[in-house]
Structure 1
Amino acid sequence: MILQDTIPYDVSTLARLPGVAPFDMANWLHVDEAYAAQMDERLRLLRTSRDRVLRLDDTARPAAVEALRMVLAHLPMGFAQNVGWVRCPDGRHVALNWEDPLGTLCQIVQEDICILEKRGGAEHVLTGAVLCFPASWTLAEKYMRPLTRIHAPVASYDSALAKRVQRLFDGVQPGKPLWRHNVLRYADPALHQPRLEADPRDGDHPEAAPFIRSERQCLLRLPDTDAVIFSIHTYVTRSQVNE
Structure 2
Amino acid sequence: MDVILQKQIPFNPLQAQKLPGIQPLPPQDWLRPDEASTAQIAVRRQLLDDRRDDVLMLDPEAMPAAQELLRMVLAQRYSPEDQEVQPGGGQSVTIDWEDPLGTLGRITQQDFCILEKRGDEHVMTGAVLCFPASWKLSEKFMAPLTGIHTPVPSYDTGIAKRVQRLFDGVQPGRPLWRYNGLWYQDPALHQPRSHYEARNEVHDAAAEYMRSEKQMILRLPETRAVVFCIHTYVLAKRDVLAQWG
Question: Which TM class, normalised by the smaller chain length?
Answer: over 0.9
Deviation at 1:80, TM superposition (A): 6.9
Give the counterpart letter for 1:228 in structure 2.
Answer: V
Q: Structure 2: where are the runs of 5+ without partners?
A: none
Equivalences, count: 239
Point out the structure with the larger helix share.
2
Deviation at 1:40, TM superposition (A): 1.2
Deviation at 1:206, TM superposition (A): 4.0
Q: Which moved more, 1:200-209 or 1:149-158?
A: 200-209
TM-score scaled by length of structure 1: 0.94
Q: Provide the residue aligned with 2:49 in structure 1.
A: 47
Q: Which moved more, 1:6-15 or 1:30-39?
A: 6-15
Q: Provide the residue aligned with 1:193 in structure 2.
A: 191
Q: Structure 1: where are the runs of 5+ without partners?
A: none
TM-score scaled by length of structure 2: 0.93
| Distance change (3 Å), C-alpha of 1:91 and 1:45 | closer
Q: Alpha-carbon deviations, 1:33-61, whole Å to 9, x = none?
A: 11121111101100000000000000000
Give the counterpart letter for 1:115 in structure 2.
Answer: I
Q: Provide the residue aligned with 1:90 in structure 2.
A: 89
Deviation at 1:25, TM superposition (A): 1.3
Q: Provide the residue aligned with 2:162 in structure 1.
A: 164
Q: Provide the residue aligned with 2:148 in structure 1.
A: 150
Determine if contact 2:170/2:176 at 8 Å carries over to the other structure: yes
Determine if contact 2:17/2:180 at 8 Å carries over to the other structure: no
Runs (4+) of structure 1 moved beyond 4 Å?
79-82
| Distance change (3 Å), C-alpha of 1:49 and 1:91 | closer
| Distance change (3 Å), C-alpha of 1:72 and 1:229 | same
Does residue 118 of the first structure (1) align with residue 103 of the second (2)? no
Cα RMSD over matched residues? 1.5
**What is the DSSP-based 3-state SS (H/G/I as helix, E as strand, rest coil) of the residue aligned with 1:180?**
strand
Q: Provide the residue aligned with 1:235 in structure 2.
A: 233
Give the counterpart letter for 2:158 in structure 1.
Answer: A
Q: Alpha-carbon deviations, 1:56-77, whole Å to 9, x = none?
A: 00000000000001111111xx
Give the counterpart letter for 2:106 in structure 1.
Answer: Q
Measured in 1, the distance between the counterparts of 2:201 and 2:220 equals 41
Seq. identity, %: 57
Q: Provide the residue aligned with 1:219 in structure 2.
A: 217
